[in-house]
């Protein structure tokens, strides 16, 4: 497995890592088999979280005898000193280790949460103290909003950042990844195979948002079978300036496919470069700052589907996704509240009008 340097941590990590969310659904023996297969395939980066069911326990048990060959990145979803101290202690216990390679502030998706976590009573203080005490080597941050994460890493408090990035979700490429490079912060990528970024529950549990599906348009974009689709989607991410891509893995087969993509990676082919080369223009960055809408429109979702249709040519798929929204674009009463709040000065009302014409049939 190829390795890359994880920014200023100087850790050498496999280009494909192991996303530990899904193994909480497996029986213990099967989870151990999947994790060990990943080790045997050369994966040395394991991402988990206290909030991911018993993922930490399963990873801790499976890696106990190879702990020092692996980089374990876990997370605290607590925002206060006291609660996050409990998280660090329980993560150490559950992962059966005396030190965490990386502790990440989990799911920092808005500035208020960021300010709380970084405040004088915030979880960052606990992470820094744990680092001083030798319980933690490095501190990272995770979230779904590149704009918020960019603000966070510009404080220079973090060594790594974990963010969604995939062939149809490219916001991180604009500001966040260049800023990470400037500060020598390691970039790990989550959700390389999922089209949704902003609502965690939908993202993780709604299979219709997976890029690996039978949708003919997605097959045309990524490949004709699941192996080639996964390979293509992971190669797109690896072609960016990132250290490690972390797909959620839940079977030995999935481990083989993902690890194979990392093993064989040698850049995008010319044909792939052309296929993935889209012009996004003035598109919605999914920052969510235009919300809430008095009519309960999910503006970022509608505009995301519009981007999938317009920029990526995924017209049928975008219509299907749009049809699942409870409130459609025609409910907009043109109050103008959203436009005032959009930091990218997008003409949201006009964009919604177009979405209505193109997606609503
Ligand atoms: S202009 Fe339309 S979409 Fe924007 S806030 Fe008003 S009702 Fe909602
Ligand atoms: S429309 Fe503007 S404010 Fe709303 S999510 Fe998109 S980029 Fe953000």
- Same domain? For 44 and 93 the reply is yes
Q: How far is the CA of 178 from the centre of ligand 2 (A)?
A: 21
Query: Could you list the pLDDT tens digit for every one of the 361 residues in the chain?
Result: 899 999 999 999 999 999 998 899 999 999 999 999 999 999 999 999 988 889 999 999 999 999 999 999 999 999 999 999 999 999 999 999 999 999 999 999 999 999 999 999 999 999 999 999 999 999 999 999 999 999 999 999 999 999 999 999 999 999 999 999 999 999 999 999 876 544 443 443 344 567 887 889 989 999 888 888 999 999 999 999 999 999 999 899 999 999 999 999 999 999 999 999 999 888 999 899 999 999 999 999 999 999 999 999 999 988 988 888 889 999 999 999 999 999 999 999 999 999 999 998 7
- Same domain? For 39 and 180 the reply is yes
| Rounded Cα distance, 160 and 186, in Å | 4
pLDDT in tens, 269-308: 999 999 999 998 889 998 999 999 999 999 999 999 999 9
Cα–Cα distances (Å) from 355 to 305, 319, 330, 351, in that order, read 8, 10, 9, 6
- Same domain? For 101 and 181 the reply is yes
Cα–Cα distances (Å) from 275 to 4, 202, 264, 311, in that order, read 26, 28, 20, 12
| Rounded Cα distance, 245 and 190, in Å | 6
Q: Which atom of ligand 1 is nearest to the CA of 337?
A: 5
CATH of the domain at 215: 3.20.20.100
| Rounded Cα distance, 43 and 20, in Å | 12
- Same domain? For 197 and 68 the reply is yes
- Same domain? For 40 and 114 the reply is yes
Q: Decide if 211 is inside a domain.
A: yes
Q: Decide if 286 is inside a domain.
A: no
- Same domain? For 321 and 268 the reply is no
Residues 6+ positions from 89 with CB-CB distance below 8 Å: none
- Same domain? For 348 and 217 the reply is no
User: Which residues line ligand 1 at a C-beta cut-off of 6 Å?
Assistant: 293-295, 297, 299, 332-338, 348-349, 352
Q: Decide if 20 is inside a domain.
A: yes
Q: Decide if 115 is inside a domain.
A: yes
Among 85, 33, 91, CA closest to 63: 33
What sections of the chain are H helices per DSSP? 28-40, 55-63, 81-94, 111-118, 123-132, 146-153, 176-182, 200-205, 216-222, 226-238, 252-264, 270-276, 299-310, 315-323, 337-341, 348-359
Cβ–ligand 2 contact at 285 (below 6 Å): yes
| Total count of domains within the chain | 2
- Same domain? For 212 and 91 the reply is yes
Instruction: Name the residue of 292, 299, 351, 353 to mutate for ligand 1: max ligand atoms within 8 A of Cβ.
Output: 299
- Same domain? For 163 and 220 the reply is yes
Domain C-terminal end among 258, 274, 290: 274
- Same domain? For 142 and 32 the reply is yes
Domain C-terminal end among 274, 289, 311: 274
């Amino acid at each position: 497995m190829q390795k890359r340097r994880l920014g200023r941590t100087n850790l050498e990590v496999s280009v494909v890592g192991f996303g530990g969310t899904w193994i909480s659904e497996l029986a213990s023996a099967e989870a151990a088999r999947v994790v060990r297969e990943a080790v045997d395939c050369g994966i040395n980066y394991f991402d988990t979280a206290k909030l991911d069911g018993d993922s930490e326990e399963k990873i801790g048990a499976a890696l106990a005898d190879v702990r020092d060959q692996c980089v374990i990145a876990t997370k605290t979803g607590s925002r206060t000193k006291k609660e996050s101290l409990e998280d660090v202690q329980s993560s150490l216990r559950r992962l059966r280790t005396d030190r965490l390679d990386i502790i990440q502030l989990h799911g920092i998706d808005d500035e208020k949460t960021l300010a709380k976590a970084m405040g004088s009573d915030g979880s960052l203080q606990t992470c820094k103290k744990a680092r001083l005490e030798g319980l933690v080597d490095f501190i990272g941050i995770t979230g779904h909003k590149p704009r918020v994460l960019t603000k966070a890493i510009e404080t220079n408090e973090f060594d790594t950042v974990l963010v969604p990035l995939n062939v149809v979700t490219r916001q991180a490429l604009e500001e966040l990844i260049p800023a990470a490079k400037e500060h020598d912060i390691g970039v790990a990528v989550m959700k390389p195979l999922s089209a949704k970024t902003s609502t965690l529950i939908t993202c993780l549990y709604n299979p219709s948002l997976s890029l690996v599906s039978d949708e003919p348009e997605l097959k045309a974009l990524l490949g004709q079978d699941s192996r080639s689709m996964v390979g293509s989607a992971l190669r797109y991410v690896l072609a960016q300036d990132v250290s490690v891509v972390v797909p959620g893995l839940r079977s030995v087969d999935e481990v083989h496919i993902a690890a194979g993509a990392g093993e064989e990676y040698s850049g995008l082919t010319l044909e792939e470069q052309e296929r993935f080369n889209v012009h996004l223009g003035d598109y919605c960055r999914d920052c969510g700052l235009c919300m809430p809408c008095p009519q309960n429109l999910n503006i970022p979702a509608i505009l995301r589907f519009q981007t999938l249709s317009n920029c990526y040519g995924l017209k049928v798929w975008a219509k299907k996704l749009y049809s699942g929204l409870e409130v459609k674009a025609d409910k907009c009463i043109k109050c103008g509240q959203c436009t005032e709040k959009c930091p990218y000065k997008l003409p949201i009302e006009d964009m919604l009008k177009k979405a209505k014409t193109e997606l609503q049939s």
